[in-house]
A and B are shown apart, each in its own frame.
Chain A
Amino acid sequence: MTTLTEKAPAQPAKSAVQQKVAASLARRHRQETLFRFTGLTAVMISLALVALLFINIFSKGLPAFWQASITLDIHFDPAILQISDKPVQQRGESDNAFRERDLAWRSEVGMINFNRIISDALMQVLPDADQHRRQVLRMVTSGERFALRDMVIDDPSIIGQTRRLNLLTDANVDVWLKGNIDRSLPDHQQQLSPIVRQWADELYASGVIQNRFSFALFMNPDSRSSLASAGLAGAFMGSLFMMLIVMLLAVPMGVAAAIYLEEFAPRNKITDLVEVNINNLAAVPSIVFGLLGASVFIGWFNLPMSAPVVGGLVLSLMTLPTVIIATRSTLKAIPPSIRQAALGLGASKMQTIFHHVLPLAIPGILTASILGVAQALGEAAPLLLIGMKSFVASVPATPFEQSTALPVQIFLWQGNELRNFFEARTSAAIIVLLTMMISLNGLAIWLRKKFERRW
């Protein structure tokens, strides 16, 4: 009994704690729910931001892949196209002499007023064209006359014939038809005169002007005079050259460095220093590599400005740490038993690594290099500093020629004065860039999934 009475006073003390707990429990559970909810909100906001970014870019850019183009019956009028015959290399004629004759003929063709051919064709489809002769050519983008010239140069027998061709309309016509400009703006704020706008609407309604897939965007280099036919070909080649250089330089060097540091390097102060250095280099702002390129590659080594070769070197140095770090972690993941087995059977250290460890690491190394190349592909800042910001209207044939790159082209286009047209075209260029990066990353993920081995 005494034990009972002794226990009894303990009861209220315990329940005081319990009461305290019970009293706070509701509040604590509320806090729990709130905390959980906040976390979920953060995840959702982050996901929504990804979605917003992509939807925004795609909704702006996708329409730009289709461009207003006008179908015309172009008559290659012999009265306008008065040119001599295309030169053919004579027997016994030296290459140089022929080339000179050919050049002379080409410049003769270049002197022809192809605009008249286009305006003649336009006159046939445009109502009241006689009263607005000067406005007629505003319908078609100015670069198309060079397309016609090239057709004549390729095949002079076309003269006298009539061909049905799709010509790109002027950028402003495209903007007007897509509604990218406020149609209710007064005349003096419009880019096009009233008659051209009227023509555009009429021809669009009658199907002479249609939105067609824009091959110009992919096939042409950049242009400043004929905005509607400005394309990504030059930038694409520039980026391709740089990716090649990164693959040829950064990947083998990075893999070699990783092998040395992971497998051979003695554990001492110097190795530590190299390691810290590589980790820091991976976090150095990319623009600093641009400064390095500007002062070392261009200033000291006298390499050409704006050339993909310099860009490739700079990007290689930039991606090198990424490749090294990723390759090292791949090598680290390969169990020591593989090495011990090879060494135990009498292989040298070098044979162990190159015959047994490296083959197992190849999927990881591939993934690392693809990610490195993708990183290099998207980088713009260092390229601005080595002169790739300059306008280049040709497709580079070698890495030593002037060129630009996809991200830099995006930078150049977003700054174009004709905002209405280039906002969409820039978004289209971004879609191209993102597609390339996503396919590279997808390839990396696929490789990892396919060859991944858990030890």
Chain B
Amino acid sequence: MSNLTLMMALLALMAIAYQLGLVRTRQVAGQHPTQRMHSRPHHYGVMVGLWAVLPAFFVFLLWSWGSPWAIQQLLTAQLPDAITQDPQELRVALRRIGNLAANFGVVSEAADWELQAAAFLRDTRQLSNGLMLALMAAVASAGMLYSYRTITPLHRARNQIEKVVKTALVLCSTVAILTTIGIVLSMVGESLRFFSFVSPMDFFFGTTWNPRFSTSGVGEGSLTGDQGSFGMLPLLAGTFMIACIAMLVAIPLGLLAAIYLAEYASPKLRATAKPIIEVLAGIPTIVYGFFALVTVGPFLSEMGETLGLDIRATSALTAGVVMGIMIIPFISSLSDDIITQVPKSLRDGSLGLGATKSETIRKVVLPAALPGIVGAILLAASRAIGETMIVVLAAGNSPSLTANPFEAVSTMTVTIVNQLTGDNDFSSPQSLVAFALGLTLFVITLLLNVVALVIVRKYREQYE
């Protein structure tokens, strides 16, 4: 029986249990004409349904989680000693037996002991499945029977259901935490594996990025020779250069647009212009990447030619400019919110003393809003550092340490994509380095976000 049918069966069981509970409640209510039932009939129905299904479901979860491991232990005990000794050989043997048991073919003739083990595996799996079904049925009927008998006028069915619902709500809100833990654990784990090949010093402070394609790993701390070198600095420099160019484009445009829309624009202009600018935030980044590659890059390159500059079509400048366009709405809408939050009394005071509107904005409103705007800029910067598709398409992917924005560069995100989508073995340092880069990226953006959120929060409290 597949898991899907099993789930359907559980749902059907729940429906039946619900009906039973409902009928029973009416009976009980009839037997106690003077007493009011604590909960509504459907509460009792749902309660019986939950008692029938939830424990059985937990049995299912535990069994599916534990049984493969237990079966493997039993199977390993069956195998000849010569094979169980070597972990590598054991893994190969287990995979072959698994394939045999599932009636897939295996390479070369299967040995007798393998066939036996496969038959054993098949039988044990069947047995385990049967046991699980039996146990589930037992638990389900026990739960149903128990809850069926607890239906009395005084029994608080609704409170029980509410407890279950509340637990479910709590579980859902822990998913976000679990995600963070998952991110940190998986990346730290893989990064540690990477650092067993390459020393952290060479990774964080190396100035050459040349991972090669070999799957044989790198030698003892050697950064030269025919082994790959994994110096992160060129990538970090490329990342920050592109982010800086993006901020140079986005901060003036975004901030000035926000000031104009918040302070000067007529309500009509504001109502049309604001959503249109925010459209920029909703456009998929791959679209910006394509735009940079086929339009902005050639345009900048041509413009450079007329100015006598050598600008590559795919360069830090191209990626940075387009990323800046993408970031404009982040800065403009956050700053707009913050500027409109500055109390009117500050403006009135300044205007009353005879300052012009622009003086009021520059000398009173902006200083008051500054912390919030800095927060917005930091959030936008973290977005720029983590952006992937634009740089994959438009930055040129050339991991060299250069200060020239007209040259092709590479960033951490581009390298993560390249290293994980190439033909490298997943456990080679060439692939694992992606996780070390990802961890670095995660830490950088996390720091930026935390600082930004703290600043924004402080600022909000100030005027609330």
Contacts and interface: CB of A to CB of B under 8 A. Distances in A.
B450 to A, nearest CB: 7
A286 B180 contact: no
Contact of B264 (A39, A53, A296): A39
A291 B177 contact: no
B61 interface: no
Interface residues of A, number: 83
Contacts of A426: 290
Interface string A298-313: 0100000000000000
B260 A36 contact: yes
Interface in B273-296: 273, 276-277, 279-280, 282-291, 293-295
B389 A380 contact: yes
A279 B252 CA distance: 26
Interface of A: 21, 28-29, 31-32, 35-36, 38-43, 45-47, 49-50, 53, 56-57, 60, 252-254, 256-257, 259-261, 264-265, 273-274, 276-281, 283-292, 294-296, 299, 317, 320-321, 324, 348-350, 374, 377-381, 384-385, 387, 389, 407, 410-411, 414, 423, 426-427, 430, 433-434, 437, 441
Nearest to B262: A39
Given A43-B265, A43-B273, A56-B291, A437 B176 contact: no
Given A28-B356, A32-B356, A285-B445, A39 B260 contact: yes
Contacts of B168: 256
A416 B231 CA distance: 31
Nearest to B252: A42
B166 A287 contact: no
B449 interface: yes
Contact of B358 (A32, A290, A437): A32
Contacts of B332: 46
Interface stretch (B136-144, B183-191, B304-312): B183-191
B385 interface: yes
B413 A285 contact: yes
B439 to A, nearest CB: 9
B315 interface: no
11 contacts: A49-B328, A50-B279, A256-B168, A256-B172, A257-B169, A285-B387, A289-B183, A299-B426, A411-B393, A430-B290, A434-B283
A427 B289 CA distance: 12
Interface in B315-337: 325, 328, 332
Interface stretch (B13-21, B84-92, B397-405, B416-424): B416-424
B5 interface: no
Given A53-B283, A381-B285, A423-B294, A287 B438 contact: yes
B178 to A, nearest CB: 9
Interface string B96-108: 0000000000000
Given A29-B356, A285-B442, A287-B438, 16 more contacts: A36-B264, A46-B328, A53-B291, A254-B172, A257-B175, A264-B166, A264-B169, A281-B180, A285-B387, A288-B386, A348-B159, A348-B162, A378-B285, A384-B417, A430-B286, A430-B287
B232 to A, nearest CB: 16
B170 to A, nearest CB: 6
A295 B190 contact: yes
Contacts of A349: 162
B73 interface: no
Given A49-B328, A284-B442, A288-B442, A42 B257 contact: yes
Report the interface size class on chain B: 35 or more
A272 B401 CA distance: 42
B273 A381 contact: no
Contacts of B392: 381, 411
Contacts of A286: 386, 388
Contacts, number: 254
Contact of B386 (A45, A264, A284): A284
B441 interface: yes
Contacts of B293: 414
Nearest to A374: B282
Taking each of B158, B159, B176, B282, which has the highest tally of chain A beta carbons within 10 Å of its own beta carbon? B176
A43 B288 CA distance: 20
A429 to B, nearest CB: 9
B282 A410 contact: no
B261 interface: yes
Given A46-B328, A47-B277, A389 B453 contact: no
Interface of B: 158-159, 162, 165-166, 168-170, 172-177, 179-180, 182-183, 186-187, 189-190, 252-257, 259-261, 263-265, 269, 273, 276-277, 279-280, 282-291, 293-295, 325, 328, 332, 354, 356-359, 361-362, 379, 382-383, 385-389, 392-393, 413, 416-417, 420-421, 426, 434-435, 438, 441-442, 445-446, 449-450, 453
A46 B260 CA distance: 12
B186 A292 contact: yes
Nearest to B383: A283
B176 A46 contact: no
Contact of B290 (A31, A38, A317, A410): A410
A430 to B, nearest CB: 5
Given A350-B162, A441-B282, A281 B358 contact: no
A15 B295 CA distance: 60
B157 to A, nearest CB: 12
B197 to A, nearest CB: 17
Given A257-B169, A285-B385, A43 B286 contact: no
A291 B434 contact: yes
A378 B417 contact: no
Given A47-B273, A291-B187, A295-B190, A39 B286 contact: no
Nearest to B442: A288
Nearest to A441: B282
A295 B182 CA distance: 10
Nearest to A270: B177
A385 B359 contact: no
A285 B449 contact: no
B428 to A, nearest CB: 14
A292 B434 CA distance: 11
B187 A279 contact: no
A410 B168 CA distance: 39
A47 B274 CA distance: 9
B286 A288 contact: no
B169 A385 contact: no
B454 to A, nearest CB: 9
B256 A39 contact: yes
A279 B453 contact: yes
A317 B181 CA distance: 12
Contacts of B254: 42, 46
Given A56-B291, A283-B383, A39 B182 contact: no
Contacts of B442: 284-285, 288
Nearest to A375: B282
Nearest to A415: B393
B140 to A, nearest CB: 24
Given A280-B446, A296-B186, A381 B388 contact: yes
A347 B65 CA distance: 40
A259 B168 CA distance: 11
Contacts of A291: 183, 186-187, 416, 420, 434-435, 438
A35 B358 contact: yes
